[in-house]
Structure 1
Amino acid sequence: MIKIDAIDTQIIDLPTIRGHVLSMATMTEQSVVLVEVLFSDGSTGIGEGTAIGGLSYGAESPESIQSAIETYIAPAIIGMDGDAVNAARLRAQKAVVGNPIARCAVENALWDGLGKRLGLPISTLMGGAVHTGLEVAWTLASGDSDKDIAEALEMLERRRHRQFKLKVGKRAVRDDLAHVGKIKAALGDKAVITVDVNQAWDMHSARWGLKGLQDIGVAMVEQPIPAVQRSGLSMLSKSYEIAVMADEALRGPEDALNHARCHAADAFAVKIAQSGGLSPASEVIAIGKAAGLGLYAGTMLESGVGTAAALQLFSTVETLQWGTELFGPLLFKDDILTTPLRYADFQVHLPEGPGCGVTLDQDKIKFYRRGAPRQTPVKVSV
């Protein structure tokens, strides 16, 4: 039996190419928890745990992810059968309540290790890929209408993206609508426009906001009100033609089932980290599909490791009505993979090779590791 021998973690801090403006924070850096599982036969597996905006977005931070893994998950599963991924992830689930991102990072590393030992990609272990490339959206989040328009036109010209998500919610609804309307008018029918509010509106604002966005011609609005207000989200989804997507409200299969049961949304933004790993994310997908809801492959702004793991799962899904937003690696000034993921012809392409299909650039990891000495500063102040 090949046993789980050890689990190592480290935090790396990656600067972004520009300020990424959300309703609750402006990101100029992303902190990534990299996980390496070492097995008794000498093989290894890598995974990633990434939160957005520290604790301003959700209940997990890079520091808490690392602590949960080192203090609770690792002691619980070290010594277990390394090939028994389900047994190990279920043990980890019992060892920590919540902490889906920490559990996801470890589970991804276990799948990666198993795939490498078998010489197979994770997608094959999950039944086989039906797509080698997936439509990928880009988030316009500078907060400046003219900058966002210029950025979108450049992406269209380069054939990198033709669906754009706008981050709103930091300003008054009237100002947000003017911002979105200006961008939609500039792009016209050349691109699909969606909007993410990140829970920033109350119900009164959401009613006006959804009506305005619908009139502008926006295709979909994501999590306009707080995640706990499921009945409110249901009311909004039934009141407007614009599609309403649940995101932060989905913390795993149970949340997905409750939203599907009362038709609280028209679509699910499925995130492997928010779901707690590849296996529970596949359950969220199955629930959404069975309920006739649209599916969207979401991101926690992961680096290439987490993005590759997500691609392995979503490549096995027949229809993603809203595509994906697996653009995380493109948001950073540097890539930490020896061979970066390929973005071309409006798609992100499934990497080849066993496991997740990617390899870390150890020189880059050493440079960006938190606390490591650097010759040049990379952290940008807010």
Structure 2
Amino acid sequence: MSTTIHSIDAILVDIPTIRPHKLSMTTMGVQTMVIVRIKDSNGLEGLGEATTIGGLSYGPESPESIKLTIDSYLAPLLLNQPSNNINTLKVRLNANIRANHLAKSAIETALLDLNGKQQGLSVSQLLGGAIHQHLPVLWVLASGDTAKDIDEAQSMIAAKRHCVFKLKIGSRPVMEDVKHVAAIKAALGDSVSIRVDVNQAWDEFTATKGMQALQSAGIDWVEQPTPTKDFASLVRLSQKFTIPILADESINDATDGFQLAAAGFSGSYALKIAKSAGPIGALKLASVAQASGIGLYGGTMLEGTIGTVASLHAWSTLEKLHVGTEMFGPLLMKDDIVVNPLNYSNFGVEIPTTPGLGVEIDEDKLAFYRRK
């Protein structure tokens, strides 16, 4: 007999970052996660996570609004429902709740974890099976200080933890940013890949100037140079330069992916389970990209271990991630709330193979970091 959903808890958790993380729209010193715990009528528990960047500075959902949405709107629709048919539960939520993709992603992740534990299968097995057991992971250099970023990158290379780096730019005048990036590229050499993320900070005129200079400096690609729904500028820029563009904030789901590809965009899409309301939606977007000749990238919202491993299970089922992944979120935080953190080594990360997500909450750490 199928079990039912017995309880749903959403918990705010605040963990300091190892250093200030500077983006074009904000600087982070603490990451706030919404941890979701769903228990079935047999006492099994599934874990999920919803995490955004810098409160409301990045998008329309904040940690506080995510918790409120889950507590007041999503949970009442799910309690006492059969726990093993995720598609039916997704239809139920979408019929009653518009958008709120991050909150829905946390719920879907917890249900996948729960279903995996119920069946003795990993989440990647539930999603069709892992093709990869180890995925490459880049590191983001975001101190804003050129010398510090060079030192940080060199230490990562020496430790065999990362050999691909992304720089957050866009908060300074464009040529100051280019000078900063070019100096790091020159110091690290041609064997190291350097990419930049503008986080929508440029208009098309500025992006044209910046991308020309970045292309000349040997930078490998530019992420989201222009505003979210300015598809036309992304298409024109992708056709004007040989330096590739990675679309991130512009692409939430398969519909966005189809529309941008149909408009003539050439480049890559950043897959994020949070933007697509869960791993299942992110993989639907991946299918649209694959059919359109668009490259794939495993993106992050700077989630902790729970959200990161959920993404990794999804990415592991994809044959090719053309520009790798950035699943470094747990490494940006000073501590973790799981018993066994992910294994980062050999310039990448291992995919857990135990049932569900393959992680377990450290109750003492959760109690210490949960918002009082």
Task: Tell me the TM-score range normalised by the shorter chain.
Answer: over 0.9
The offset of 1:265, in angstroms, is 4.3
Q: CA deviation at 1:94?
A: 2.2
Identify unmatched segments of 5+ residues in structure 1. Answer: 372-382
TM alignment of 1:224-303, pairs within 5 A: 224-303=225-304
Task: Tell me how many residue pairs correspond in the alignment.
Answer: 371
1:190 is paired with a residue whose SS is coil
Deviation per residue, 1:133-169 (Å, 9 max, x gap): 0010000000000000000000000010111000000
Letter in 2 for 1:300: M
* Percent of aligned pairs sharing the same letter: 47
Q: What per-residue deviation string (whole Å, max 9, x for no partner) do you get for residues 307-326 of structure 1? A: 01011110010100100000
Decide which moves more: 175-184 or 37-46: 37-46
Q: How many angstroms does 1:110 deviate by?
A: 0.3
Amino acid at match of 1:49: A
Alignment-mate amino acid for residue 118 of structure 1: Q
Shift of 1:263: 2.6
SS at match of 2:189: helix
Between 261-270 and 27-36, the greater mean CA deviation after superposition? 261-270
User: Residue 14 of structure 1 aligns to which amino acid in structure 2?
Assistant: I
8 Å CA contact retained: 1:93, 1:103: no
How many angstroms apart in 2 are the aligned matches of 1:356 and 1:276?
Answer: 17
CA drift at 1:191: 1.0
TM-fit CA distance, 1:352: 2.7
Gaps in structure 2 of 5+ consecutive residues: none
- For residues 168 and 141 of structure 2, the distance between their equivalents in structure 1, rounded to whole angstroms, comes to 7
Instruction: State the partner residue of 2:178.
Output: 177
Matched position secondary structure for 1:272: coil
Q: Secondary structure at the match of 1:287?
A: helix
Residue 143 of structure 2 aligns with which residue?
142
Structure-2 residue corresponding to 1:69: 70
Matches for 1:1-382 after TM superposition, within 5 Å: 1-371=2-372
In structure 2, how many angstroms separate the alpha carbons of the residues matched to 1:264 and 1:65? 32
Q: Deviations over 1:339-368 (max 9, x none)?
A: 000000001110131101111111110000
Code of the aligned partner of 1:209 = G
Counterparts of 2:30 and 2:36, CA distance in 1: 19
Task: State the TM-score, normalizing by the size of structure 1.
Answer: 0.96
1:286-336 alpha-carbon deviations (Å, 9 max, x no partner): 011111111000000000000010111100101001000000000000111
Contact 1:246 1:265 in 2 (8 A): no
Report SS of the residue matched to 1:288: helix
Distance 2:264 2:364 in 1: 48
Query: Aligned partners of 2:179 and 2:26: how far apart in 1?
Result: 21
Aligned-residue Cα RMSD (Å) equals: 0.8
Matched position secondary structure for 2:190: helix
What is the CA–CA distance in structure 1 between the aligned matches of 2:337 and 2:257, rounded to whole Å?
Answer: 33
User: CA–CA distance in 2 between the matches of 1:136 and 1:165?
Assistant: 11
How many Å separate the matches in 2 of 1:179 and 1:264? Answer: 28
Instruction: Indicate the SS of the match to 1:30.
Output: strand
Q: Which residue does 1:375 correspond to in 2?
A: none
Whether the aligned pair in 2 keeps the contact of 1:270 and 1:295 (CA below 8 Å) is yes
Q: Name the aligned partner's letter for residue 234 of structure 1.
A: V
The CA distance in 2 between the partners of 1:265 and 1:99, in whole Å, is 29
**1:106-142 alpha-carbon deviations (Å, 9 max, x no partner):** 0000000000011110111111101000010000000
Structure 1 runs of 4+ aligned residues shifted over 2 Å read none
What amino acid maps onto 1:291 in structure 2? S
**Which residue matches 1:379?**
none
Paired with 1:195 and 1:20, the residues of 2 have a C-alpha distance of 14
Tell me, in whole angstroms, the C-alpha distance in 1 between the residues paired with 2:369 and 2:6: 26
